[in-house]
Amino acid sequence: MNTTKRLGLLGFMITGFAGVPAFAAPTSYPLEIENCGETVVFEKAPENAVALGQNSAEIMLLLGLEDRMAASAFWPNDVLPELAEANGKVETLTVEFPTLEAVLQQQPDFVAAMLTTLMGPDSRVAKRGDFEDLGIPTYLAPSACSTSLDTGDAYGSRDQLWNMDLLYKEIDDLARIFDVQERGDAVIADFKAREAALREQFPKNDDLTFLFWFSSASAADDAYLGGGNGPSGFIADLLGGRNALDTKAEWPTLNWEGIMAADPTIIVATQVDRNRWDLDKAENKIAFLENDPTVSQMEAVQNGRIVVMSGAAMNPSIRTLYGAEEIARQIKAFDSGE
Amino acid sequence: MRTATDIGAGMRLFLLLAVSALVLVVAIAAATAIGEYNIPVRTVLLTVANEFGLTAADVPKIEASVVWNLRLSRSLVAALCGAGLAICGTILQALLRNPLAEPFVLGVSAGASTGAVAVLVLGIGAGAVSLSLGAFVGAFAAFAVVALLSNGATSGPNHTILAGVAASQLFNALTAYIVTTSASAQQARGVMFWMLGSFGGVRWPQFHLLAIVLLLCLAICFLMARALDAFTFGDEDAAALGIPVARTRLVLFAVTALMTATIVSQVGAIGFVGLVVPHAARYVVGPVHMRLLPASAVLGAVFMVIADIASRVIVAQQTVPIGVVTALVGVPFFAIILYRARPQT
């Protein structure tokens, strides 16, 4: 037993000191991470992590960490199909906001969050200090805190267009925290290649404008749209176009007259899985667009330029790239059909 | 005859205070023991004893933190807020001689919400201090609007209530405007949750702030209990009794605004408590403020602590906004009071 341990230690020391140049360097603990203006120290790789928010959970699953996750919470959309099996091993506390007690009950040794409403200074769920006082390290998505660092606004508008760099930083940080850099590098490389491929296929086109329709309480109500410098604008930019709305608000509501005046060339009807309203469903959105006597007169509807995308893509997340690809496939189908 | 009634009321006050204080202690103990995290009663007791320096038992760190930092601080804040809101209602009902007066109805809560949301969403200043300050400015702005609309504080009591309704609408609209033009999806939801009130974000620092402000305000109110009695007969009678009407009224309005603003800034706008609790207290101890104020305070505290327990356990792993619970629990209770207090025919 003692000999085995010593041999193990020796082996560790050799690989540790010699380094393995072909791979990313392993994390040496204690690890210090700068995150959203705070320094977080990790004494060891987490073994019982809690992910607050779909994006934090999906990144961990992409990194193959399902065995080191205790639970997750807050899922506006269903999990990515390719991650469903892994996610089955992780308890879902609730698809809505969880309570701090429910999170602590999991005896977490690490908590990562996607939004400041889930873990931030004004959060009614949890503050970073709640965990730090217990010696539990935390991580907040850079996409979430960048808004407050940019504009002093804890949640809403950004002063520049969101982009994947914030997400790559998040993936890289989480990979280092869990000591799975190789996997993290692979995920980032994959995403970067996919992002570049889209940019290449879709050169700048001034005539291309997108309307991102998240949902509406009813057809008569103002629609709940994507605007500002959020991920929707990033998707439009990635595909060579721009958001049809000029508003600064990241989630504006607008009536249909205003939408018709914006005159988008492509309408994105999102599929939202939470099922709060009828118009969460993409098919109901399309039925309204095509059957309403006024709205159906829009050029995009007349030309049949309505595409479907997962609503999760409109949040700053890995799903944003998947959403862009979803739209890209449909635009290409239009172009080849015409 | 009158003396006999007073003695009866005195006894009832004593009984009410004694029973309520007992119930309050039991409710806070229950709030500290009940929760989603399953913690043995022994651990709960040892944690509290440890914190008071009575024992030095070995308690798991997370469980101790849940008991002390999450549950106990939260239930004490709930008790303070319940007492504060009930006192605000009692005072406003006396000053305006209107049984419907309370911070929520008069738009003070709405004004405080607007101020707090402006700080939160528009990023004016940062941190808890500016949030409270924003709420305070908003609360006073609402008071100013009510005073203007009701033509100073001297016109009829119904006028003031209508002015309060208008002020509520105005400030709720401003809040909605700020939220729709500036907030993100998550934030809009967060703000909504916050406008209905929540004890979720509460820890010891909130307790310390509320304890200082509310105890100070409550002391001022008790000192003015006799003046409040006089106001219930009308301004002229109050003046005839030698009370500086305008000054007393201003001080009491300011104290009410300060209490409401502090509460709203920390836990959101919680309706109903200020409206219902004073009536329940008056039903038991009568209208004399030396008795009514302590009775309202302790009843409000008990009501809020119990409502908060309910808000935590109704839906598993989620917290229902406290404003929803106070209304759902409070309305039936209010209906009973209305029914029993109906004029005899």
Interface membership of A148 toward B (CB under 8 Å): yes
Torsions phi, psi of B170, nearest 5? -60, -50
pLDDT given at position B311: 86
Task: Determine which of A9-23, A39-53, B87-101 has the lowest per-residue pLDDT on average.
Answer: A9-23
Task: Report in angstroms the alpha-carbon separations of A197 from A192, A321, A331.
Answer: 8, 11, 15
Q: Determine, for residues A124 and B188 on separate chains, whether the beta-carbon distance falls below 8 Å.
A: no
Q: Please report where in the chains the tokens 């020391």 appear, as a residue.
A: A13
Shortest Cα–Cα distance, A172 to chain B (Å): 25
Please, which pLDDT band fits residue A16 given cuts at 50, 70 and 90? very low
Summarize the confidence of residues A188-205 as an average pLDDT: 95
pLDDT digits 0-9 by tens, B303-337? 999 999 988 888 766 677 788 888 887 777 667 76
Of the candidates B66, B122, B186, which has its C-beta nearest A115's C-beta? B186
Is the pLDDT at B1 greater than 50? The verdict is no
Between residues A254 and A234, which one has the greater pLDDT? Answer: A234
Provide residues of B within 8 Å CB-CB of chain A. 35-38, 61-62, 65-66, 69-70, 120-123, 126-127, 131, 180-190, 193-194, 198, 200-201, 203, 312, 317-319
In percent, the amount of chain B with pLDDT more than 90 equals 28
pLDDT given at position A4: 47
Please, which pLDDT band fits residue A152 given cuts at 50, 70 and 90? very low
On the question of a common fold for A31-194 and A203-336, the answer reads yes
Between residues B82 and B35, which one has the greater pLDDT? Answer: B82
Tell me if the domain spanning B4-102+197-341 has CATH number 1.10.238.10.
no
Q: The domain A31-194 is classified under which CATH number: 3.30.70.2740, 3.40.710.10, 3.40.50.1980, 3.40.640.10?
A: 3.40.50.1980
Strands A223-225 and A209-215: antiparallel
pLDDT given at position A194: 97
Summarize the confidence of residues B189-203 as an average pLDDT: 71
Interface membership of A94 toward B (CB under 8 Å): yes
pLDDT given at position B188: 59
Where would I find the H helices in chain A? 2-18, 54-62, 84-87, 100-104, 128-132, 142-151, 164-177, 181-201, 231-238, 256-262, 282-291, 299-302, 319-337
Interface membership of A110 toward B (CB under 8 Å): no
Interface membership of A153 toward B (CB under 8 Å): yes
Q: Determine, for residues A134 and B127 on separate chains, whether the beta-carbon distance falls below 8 Å.
A: no
Average per-residue pLDDT for chain B: 83
pLDDT given at position B317: 64
- Assess contact for B67 and B288: CB atoms under 8 A: no
Q: For residue A133, which residues of chain B lie inside 8 Å, CB to CB?
A: 65, 69
Is the pLDDT at B99 greater than 50? The verdict is yes
Question: What's the rounded Cα separation, in Å, for the pair A68 and A174?
Answer: 12
Shortest Cα–Cα distance, A70 to chain B (Å): 15
pLDDT given at position B343: 53
Shortest Cα–Cα distance, B123 to chain A (Å): 5
pLDDT digits 0-9 by tens, B69-80? 999 999 999 999
Q: Determine, for residues B182 and A94 on separate chains, whether the beta-carbon distance falls below 8 Å.
A: no
Interface membership of A125 toward B (CB under 8 Å): yes
Is the pLDDT at B194 greater than 80? The verdict is no
3-state secondary structure of A197: helix
pLDDT given at position B202: 85
Q: With CA atoms as reference, report the closest residue to B253 among B226, B294, B220.
A: B220
Summarize the confidence of residues B158-172 as an average pLDDT: 86
Summarize the confidence of residues B124-131 as an average pLDDT: 62
Top residue of B37, B117, B184, B267 to mutate, by most chain A CBs within 10 Å, is B184
Summarize the confidence of residues B36-55 as an average pLDDT: 90
Q: The domain A203-336 is classified under which CATH number: 3.40.50.1980, 3.30.200.20, 3.40.50.1100, 3.30.70.20?
A: 3.40.50.1980
Q: Determine, for residues A153 and B121 on separate chains, whether the beta-carbon distance falls below 8 Å.
A: yes
Residues 6+ apart with CB under 8 A from A31: A41, A42, A176, A177
Q: Which residues of A298-324 are buried (b: 16+ CB within 10 A; e: fewer)?
A: bebbeeebbbebbbbbbbbbbbbbbbb
pLDDT given at position B133: 82
pLDDT given at position A150: 42
Please, which pLDDT band fits residue B125 given cuts at 50, 70 and 90? low
Question: What's the rounded Cα separation, in Å, for the pair B166 and B156?
Answer: 16
pLDDT digits 0-9 by tens, A101-124? 999 999 999 999 998 888 987 777
Top residue of A106, A117, A270 to mutate, by most chain B CBs within 10 Å, is A117
pLDDT given at position A8: 47
Q: Determine, for residues A94 and B65 on separate chains, whether the beta-carbon distance falls below 8 Å.
A: no
User: Counting one residue from A and one from B, how many pairs have CB atoms under 8 Å apart?
Assistant: 106
Shortest Cα–Cα distance, B268 to chain A (Å): 11
Q: What is the ipTM of this complex?
A: 0.73
- Closest residue in B to A121 (Cα) is B127
Q: Determine, for residues A153 and B123 on separate chains, whether the beta-carbon distance falls below 8 Å.
A: yes
- Assess contact for B250 and B231: CB atoms under 8 A: no
Q: For residue A96, which residues of chain B lie inside 8 Å, CB to CB?
A: 318
Q: Determine, for residues B190 and A151 on separate chains, whether the beta-carbon distance falls below 8 Å.
A: no
Residue-level length of chain A: 338
Is the pLDDT at B184 greater than 50? The verdict is yes
Question: What's the rounded Cα separation, in Å, for the pair A319 and A327?
Answer: 12
Between residues A266 and A337, which one has the greater pLDDT? Answer: A266
Q: Where are the domains of chain A?
A: 31-194, 203-336
Q: Please report where in the chains the tokens 């994105």 appear, as a residue.
A: A268
- Closest residue in B to A101 (Cα) is B37
Shortest Cα–Cα distance, B53 to chain A (Å): 20
Question: What's the rounded Cα separation, in Å, for the pair B265 and B267?
Answer: 6
Helix axes B322-340, B273-285, angle to 10 degrees: 40
Shortest Cα–Cα distance, A104 to chain B (Å): 7
pLDDT digits 0-9 by tens, B262-302? 898 888 888 889 988 998 898 888 889 999 999 999 999 99
- Closest residue in B to A123 (Cα) is B201
Torsions phi, psi of B195, nearest 5? -70, -25
Please, which pLDDT band fits residue A131 given cuts at 50, 70 and 90? very high
Shortest Cα–Cα distance, B62 to chain A (Å): 7
Query: Ranked by mean pLDDT, which of B78-87, B151-160, B261-270 comes out on top?
Result: B78-87
Residue-level length of chain B: 345
Q: With CA atoms as reference, report the closest residue to A100 among B53, B162, B8, B71.
A: B71
Summarize the confidence of residues A215-244 as an average pLDDT: 90
pLDDT given at position A153: 40
Q: For residue A106, which residues of chain B lie inside 8 Å, CB to CB?
A: none
Q: For residue A77, which residues of chain B lie inside 8 Å, CB to CB?
A: none
Top residue of B130, B178, B186 to mutate, by most chain A CBs within 10 Å, is B186
Q: Determine, for residues A101 and B190 on separate chains, whether the beta-carbon distance falls below 8 Å.
A: no
Shortest Cα–Cα distance, B189 to chain A (Å): 9
